[in-house]
Amino acid sequence: MNREPLGKWISIIYRYSMIHANKLLKPFKMTGSQLMFFITIVDMPGITQEELSEHLKINKSTTTKVVQALEKNEYISKKISEKDKRAYNLYPTKKAVELRKKIRKLAFEWDDILCYGLDDKQKEKVYSFIEQMACNADEYINKRSCNNGRKKDKKIL
């Protein structure tokens, strides 16, 4: 079988997704690279910057820069952590919560574009396969179990 590595196709989809996101987010003074931080903070209010870095697998200096930009554009607020006075908890503003609803709708519209020509059963398989692939990558890189509640036939580690 003559084929290209999966990483090539995943990379292409990611790059086009960023182009699409940058275009859609420009009116909101946000970039595609800030989007995953924004969504995580809205979906996990009170997360610390360190937890955010760990969750997204991004270095702390990048997280700091993105948090500053989101704060400047009034999407988040920072409060000193009661548990650790050196840390900040991040909270979405009302503006961010409202924008998150719009972004979620746009994300599913992009999914529809990516899955054009697939029936519902095929789409469900795509979601399942990609989720499993992400889990496999996490297990391999982080040397931990990540089966998302599924039984796996074999361990990849």
pLDDT of residue 2: 80
**Per-residue model confidence as pLDDT tens digits over 60-114:** 999 999 999 999 999 999 999 888 888 899 999 999 999 999 998 998 999 999 9
Domain boundaries defined on the chain: 6-97, 115-157
Q: Single out the residue of 57, 10, 20, 6 nearest to residue 36, CA to CA.
A: 57
pLDDT of residue 59: 93
6-97 belongs to CATH 3.40.1280.10: no
- pTM listed for this prediction: 0.79
**CA gap 100, 42 in Å, rounded:** 7
Phi, psi of 7, deg, nearest 5: -55, -35
Torsion of CA 33, 114, 39, 103, to 10 degrees: 100
The burial of 122, by beta-carbon neighbours within 10 Å (0-12 exposed, 13-18 middle, 19 or more buried), is given as: exposed
